[in-house]
Amino acid sequence: MAITSTAPQTKQRQMWKLFVYSGIGAFMFFVPLTIGGKNTIMLDHIVTFLQSTIGPALPYYALAVIVAGAVYPFVTGTWKNSVVETVFSFFKVAGMVVGFMMVFKVGPAWLFAKDMGPFLFDKLVIPVSLLVPIGAVFLALLVSYGLLEFVGVMVQRVMRPIWKTPGRSAIDAVASFVGSYSLGLLITNRVYKEGKYTAREAAIIATGFSTVSATFMVVVAKTLDLMGQWNTYFWVTFLVTFLVTAITVRIWPLNAVPDTYHPDAKPQPEEEVSGSRLSFAWREAQETVAAAPSLGTNIWINVRDGVLMTMAILPSILSIGLLGLVLATYTPVFDWLGYVFYPFTWALQIPEPMLVAKASAVGIAEMFLPALIVAKSAIVAKFVIGVVSVSGIIFFSALVPCIMATDIPIPLWKLVVIWFQRVVLTLILVTPIAFLLF
């Protein structure tokens, strides 16, 4: 009798981890603070602090990560796994070459134009090289000590009917919007490999919730001169992004992704609640805390995954992202691709419909590019594109390499289809709102 009675007591005594560890993780990811006149989450403050204190060393650190990422597929042999893996592996080698050129200032003049290599290296490569590994430390605290399960049970009634994902996916959605899509995908991949998401659920989360963070949205809003309407822009973007996701989960190709668990994981589906939801949520959290590894082991696992993801992302940003910028700046490729969206922008009577169509198309290369294209357009066009650039979610300079670096089984061509669906649906949903507001 003594043995059975002490087990629940032991679980209860361990519950401080839920409040302390999860609390630290949540604070780092979700609580904005104003430090030095900058209002953002603590994780971003840490990255900013490191950039300002060890700035001169960061390009060399980032280059080391890029080299490791370019070599890794050939050392492990994963470059031979599929045609896509082979193509991405050679793109990573190209990214490594560009990395050396950027760090040592060697190469053609066009590469060093402000909106080309320096933009990719300074605005994306260096922040991501710090954000993902450092974020992985606090991610270990956020997702492993019951908070995911507790919140999941409490919001299950909302997430499952609307987005067809478990309640625990709410953490992913918030982490992406407040923190970073790379951190959101890190969470998604970790939870999928643990058997807590199916392949379909992971694909929905990766393509429906893993959008750029509020920090990136501020850059878009500044470019489009929308900071005067910041709160309106943020909440409309938030609403439209999740409305679009609610639609895409019900249509092909997302609804055709196998609803099966990771082959190496023990399935841990989220249970339907019967009785008191709060009591059930507490029991789920207790079970998770009791099964959690030691703090050191947990941090090591997450940091290892974070470093591997960073290695996969950085060289791809410098190759695929640069290719997108070159095509958008020096070729008519995206002008041609814009004709795909022109019937929608024309029918919706958006000002300068061809320009808005081109901006919508160029977003697949890099999510910042659409804002640059319509920066001097009418306010309605700027607002629409400001939302489209975020709600489209999928872009080749960073998010696609992030997804391809995970275990989530969704091929490249389906990502392009989902991107097209999201852009069209966003245009249809946001245009009437823009006309009502302006």
* pLDDT (0 to 100) of residue 175: 65
d(CA 120, CA 126): 9
Phi, psi of 398 (to 5 degrees): -145, -50
Amino acid at 239: L
- Averaged pLDDT score across all residues of the chain: 86
> Which residue bears the tokens 């070159």?
326
Q: Which amino acid is at 16?
A: W
Q: Which of 304, 365, 295, 353 is nearest to 329 (CA)?
A: 365
- Roughly how many angstroms between the first and final C-alpha of the chain, as a whole number? 70
Mean pLDDT of 152-176: 82
Q: What is the mean pLDDT of residues 243-263?
A: 95
CA distance 215 to 180: 8
Residue showing tokens 């005067």? 228
414, 241 Cβ separation under 8 angstroms: no
Task: Give yes or no for residue 186 having a pLDDT over 50.
Answer: yes
Q: Residue 16: which of 292, 303, 411, 227 has the closest Cα?
A: 292
Confidence band of 329 (pLDDT split at 50, 70, 90): confident
**pLDDT tens column, 372-403:** 889 889 999 999 999 999 999 998 877 887 78
Six-digit token string for 128:
């991501």
Residues 136 and 187: their CA atoms lie apart, in Å, by 9
pTM of the model: 0.75
For 105, the 3-state DSSP assignment is: coil
**3-state secondary structure string across 125-167:** HHHHHHHHHHHHHHHHHHHCCCHHHHHHHHHHHHHHHHHCCCC
What local confidence, expressed as pLDDT, does residue 214 receive? 67
The answer to whether residue 32 scores a pLDDT higher than 80 is no
Q: What is the model's pLDDT at position 8? A: 66
